[in-house]
Structure 1
């Protein structure tokens, strides 16, 4: 892929955050440094008096996906801003409120929650604790956050790079069928699938082809293929196997850790099936599968988390939602890595044009799940 598809500054931030990533502590015990005092929602705090904390979704901080990437932002903040940190992993949804309360009790100045499923629990905690700042990755509901000045949504228009991934997958398919599967039928999952489907459809229109997309149709949102959670790797493998048995030779799993099941299927195929990863650069987070990962749809969640923490520490916190998109490098299509020599120069040029056309508005992505 041409280097212009990847922002150098973003790569540097990603490289730094991955290099600093540490193994997460046990979910039952918050990891905090000694000391630390709470600060008012609008005030700055000295480094030694500032604590940033995080609560994960079910996947945990080693999920090779959205929890881990968000956690990288916390790790980076601890190192670069010289602040104290605390964190709690959630095993199930029942842990959300309890873990948030633990972080409030730990005197955290800002608490970052990770994932759409934590939306209601985060709103409740923000309302109950107006002197604590909150940020949430992958969730925004203007009706529920109205009047809340201490809660900042960090959201991403992943439909944009997913469109590019769908176009790529359709172009590279040898069977004329590609497939996608989700963890759960929620907006932060289906936004990827919408973009992927539309990108493949755009390829068909441009090239007068008929590549089929299995597993998802935006016109029939109840008929998609979903694992039902983000932790069942065997379930991800079963669905991926079903898609490949129907002819799909490129699989796009939007399922967090459960998506590893699709990577397993691709690896066992001996090169007949390949995958597109999500959230992180799969060749970094799941390096053992790199030979089967064509590219990845990345979200710079670590950068957004770091920026939110820094703003809170500097007394510049704002509840205005952050929206990552192709224009601001908040999302992107990753490098092709081991597939770089297999991707035709013509396709690379087309992807450059498609990116420009999405940013300019010439190509309009149709997904009800896109950030407003």
Structure 2
């Protein structure tokens, strides 16, 4: 990464901090605008011809939602009582468009499929932090409940027929976003979920980037050791929220908080559609385990075994949380 990219990367971090620390909506809006203008140069890549298309789509989506967002902020500041509730709803929809939450999600997997894994990791994690903070300052309403259910359902169903690993991770991100939105009213809880989700996403993107894998059938041609296969299997199951892996911890926290509010229908939908996400994670692993014996190994990688052991240890940290009674 050259000096110019480091400049935009630093601005990306600062702009998110501006949005999170602002005490008024205009300050948050300014932070979002800086964030958008800092991320677009990072998307561009000379070696990837599709990156310019991804940057243009991202610019149009974010600028359109920012324009409507600013108009609704002015409407609220002018105290137009007739349009007050309407402006509040539109304000929330604009932030959900920026997040890529369902049913405003169609741009998210498309852009993600045009990026490399490093830029995709930033889009799936850091770029969600500022809009989630803005939603925390808004009241929960029917639009939010509808978005939570749509994100969980479409994020699960959308990944079933995907052969692109980047699109699959995109739909998985939409599904996890639905879980985070369901506990968004509790700042400490959704931050715990976000941190653990970012950690799991980083490990998966690191491995896929290291193996140069972008499609499911590429996993069959990798010459992986047994420890590396077990490591990838554990990460996928952790991403799906299967105990005893660390990915079950944030989902457990979410279910407990929703049970205290007696949202049994939402909990039931979350658990049922989590099984669908586990199904397509298992499909990836079954292809790698069962079909690899009949394929020719074209890729030979010599990875640090200690990195695999460290990732295994992180994924098996859930029993440690139970022993220390942190939950």
TM-score w.r.t. the length of structure 1 is: 0.27
TM-score w.r.t. the length of structure 2 is: 0.29
Structure with more strand by fraction: 1
